[in-house]
């Protein structure tokens, strides 16, 4: 796990609030760099796109519509990053995972009618090294607070 002091202000951070209220702050730009450096050692999967999920990214203030529209074709080829949980299972029986990098790409491809997206699916033992665990610096959110935050300001340092 990372401390906030290991994390540069220019690094990107993804925040996820689980159903139980647990906050996960992931150094998404560092995780993305790790995946790209391990190209050939990290499997890339084709995942079915879920249009309703993509639409929820807009309604829940996860993506900015202008950013979605501005993506270039070459941007859409890079795999998104899902981080799976070892012990949490989704109600439909598959392992639960959070999309840590690539929300805008996911949304754009779904809106264009594509059926699949390229994705890294990382086990908890890999992505935990990129989790920022420092309550002294990281703000704790409720789901409602995170959805209400302007996209450019997510997440806030305390």
In a domain, 157, yes or no: no
Average pLDDT for residues 5-12, to the nearest whole number? 81
pLDDT, greater one: 122 or 4:
122
| Residue 158, in any domain of the structure | no
> Which residues neighbour 109 within 8 Å (Cβ) at sequence distance 6 or greater?
49, 54, 76, 117
Residue position matching structure tokens 């995780």 = 31
Q: Is residue 61 part of a domain?
A: yes
Structural domain harbouring 45: 4-152
pLDDT tens across 120-156, in order? 999 999 999 999 987 667 888 998 998 888 776 554 4
Alpha helices in the chain, H assignment, sequence order? 28-37, 51-59, 65-70, 103-111, 124-127, 143-148
Q: Which tokens is 69 given?
A: 């529209």
Confidence of residue 10 (pLDDT cuts 50, 70, 90): confident
Predicted confidence at residue 90, as pLDDT, reads 61
Instruction: Report the Cα 24 to chain-centroid distance in Å.
Output: 10
Classified as helix, coil or strand, 60 is: coil
Is the per-residue pLDDT at 157 higher than 50? no
Domain presence at residue 56: yes
Q: Residue 56: which of 110, 127, 19, 100 has the closest Cα?
A: 110
38 assigned to some structural domain: yes
Rounded to whole angstroms, the Cα distance separating 115 from 49 reads: 5
Percent of the chain with pLDDT over 70: 88
Closest CA to 50 of 113, 98, 120, 119: 113
* 43 within some domain: yes
Query: How many domains does one find in the chain?
Result: 1
pLDDT tens column, 66-123: 999 999 999 999 999 999 988 766 666 656 889 999 999 999 999 999 999 999 999 9
With respect to residue 40, please indicate whether it lies within any of the assigned structural domains: yes
More confident residue, 152 or 14: 14
CB 117 within 8 A of CB 77: no
Please report the DSSP string for 4-31 in residue order.
Answer: GGGS-TTS--EEEE-TT--EEEE-HHHH
* DSSP three-state, residue 90: coil
Domain membership flag for residue 46: yes
């Amino acid at each position: 796990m990372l401390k906030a002091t290991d994390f540069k202000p220019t690094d990107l951070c993804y925040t996820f609030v689980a159903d139980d209220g647990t906050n996960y702050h992931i150094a998404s730009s560092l995780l993305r760099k790790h995946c790209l450096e391990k190209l050939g050692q990290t499997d890339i999967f084709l995942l079915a796109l879920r249009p309703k999920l993509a639409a929820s990214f807009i309604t829940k203030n996860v993506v900015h519509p202008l950013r979605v529209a501005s993506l270039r074709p070459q941007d859409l080829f890079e795999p998104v990053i899902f981080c799976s949980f070892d012990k949490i299972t989704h109600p439909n029986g598959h392992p639960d995972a959070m999309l840590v990098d690539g929300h805008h790409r996911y949304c754009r491809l779904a809106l264009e009618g594509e059926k699949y997206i390229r994705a890294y699916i990382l086990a908890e033992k890999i992505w935990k090294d990129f989790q920022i665990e420092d309550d002294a610096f990281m703000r704790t959110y409720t789901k409602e607070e995170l959805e209400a935050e302007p996209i450019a300001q997510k997440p806030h340092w305390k």
